[in-house]
Chain A
């Protein structure tokens, strides 16, 4: 394993909040220098897994090793070194609301490097350009759309050229063109810098483009781990439904309730809207 593309190993890992397990018994090795995609239904614990790998929460049991280091036993300078080699894109960007986009992206550089102001500004402009936000450096996060915030979050995550990049649903909320651009960017980053990437996603199209390795979570455990080809050939009923984007088969219709009775509305719309049409 080259030193700058560390493996991520999860050993007998059980994670959750307040002692309540969300995912248990994880035994996974996410290969270094490759893109691993974590798939799974909404609420199955993908973001939870990411937060635990990032040391934001303590696992209930088991170990997490990044390039052979246990984050929870590392201390002092070694811990700082490891943390500064990690970039993270949170599910909703998590940009600092009091800083502009440019300042947000510049923040890790200003805190951890000796770069001069001009160099910092150049790097920030370049990284924002990579995600198509070069003109928006002076905007505040709440002046942007959700997709733009997400892309800015990615710019911040990769501004330090990390060895490990975590992305929580990078393409959700993006239009198909931007999503495809972003997939290409992730692929390029991974190939050029042999970054280890862990990408959480529901986006099957994007998974098929970028994934070298896939982990599927569900039912409080890992349902599948392996390459995309192996996943495509799976016989497992749930995984097939997931991959074929198929709803559960039902014998009876689900919508059995009567529709809301208009006469129960506090405003009688049939009366108030009648006769107010501008043109017919």
Chain B
């Protein structure tokens, strides 16, 4: 091909390479997820490991989730109160807070917080084990590193994330009450009545489905990045692990928001 022709096509070629890379990576992650799932129930010992991970991913996130939930709810209560009272519709404050939390904000913000707190730690932990030959050691002891490291984290994420999301919802609706009712003077009875009457089972189950999807997504991306940190170009050693951690957090957050959009349009 002529020089010019090549120059014209090279952006296209680059685009093609990038897309192939993305598809390749997604395929690899799906296979990774499949193996992690398969090994969740591989032995009785998995149960104890999962419980330890639930403590780390779930229990230790409770305080952070409570703080974020409280302030998100408080801001929401305040903003919605101002906006609604312009039209004399401040009676709908309860609906506004409850629906926005249960459908969107609670699953998304919980997932992002879990990514930052637990997801990054997963990548760093597994990455360090990879570069210090600990994963090789597991392999030679005939202990499947996926089953030992990844599966308990996956199971624990699936258990913890919906619970954390539910907890976020409770605290956030309470936060909305704090600002909307207590501080700004909306009617308490109307607020709680609206919260209750505007929430359908569909809203709750939709938020639940979202949190499950996010749990699988965050755990898969974060563990995957750590597990294959040694195969990445760019950084090796500790620097490679730090790069993998950054990539895991960014990828998880982007994927959370993209899949949130997709799920919202599919669910409602």
Residues of A within 8 A of B (CB): 51, 54-56, 80, 83-84, 86, 88, 90, 92, 94-98, 107-108, 110-112, 156
Contact = CB atoms under 8 A, between A and B. Distances in A.
A112 B138 CA distance: 12
A29 B149 CA distance: 36
Interface of B: 43, 45, 125, 128-129, 132-134, 136-143
A121 B132 CA distance: 27
B42 to A, nearest CB: 11
Given A97-B128, A111-B45, A92 B133 contact: yes
A90 B136 contact: yes
Contacts of B136: 51, 54, 56, 90, 94
Given A54-B136, A95-B134, A97-B132, 7 more contacts: A92-B132, A92-B133, A94-B134, A96-B129, A98-B125, A107-B141, A111-B141
**B interface, by DSSP: helix, strand, loop or mixed?**
helix
A96 B128 CA distance: 10
Given A96-B129, A110-B45, A56 B139 contact: yes
B140 A86 contact: yes
A108 B137 CA distance: 11
A145 to B, nearest CB: 16
Main SS at interface, chain A: mixed
Nearest to A88: B140
A238 to B, nearest CB: 30
Most B-side CB within 10 Å, residue of A86, A90, A97, A111: A111
A94 B143 contact: no
Contacts of B142: 80, 83-84, 108, 111-112
A108 B141 contact: yes
A108 B129 contact: no
A80 B132 CA distance: 24
Contact of B140 (A56, A80, A97, A98): A56
Given A88-B137, A90-B137, A94-B137, A107 B143 contact: yes
Contacts of A88: 137, 140-141
20 contacts: A51-B136, A54-B139, A54-B140, A56-B136, A56-B140, A83-B141, A84-B142, A88-B137, A90-B133, A92-B133, A94-B132, A94-B134, A94-B136, A97-B132, A97-B134, A110-B45, A111-B43, A111-B45, A111-B141, A156-B141
Contacts of B138: 96
A102 B142 CA distance: 19
A108 B148 CA distance: 12
B134 A96 contact: yes
Contacts of B45: 110-111
Nearest to A111: B143
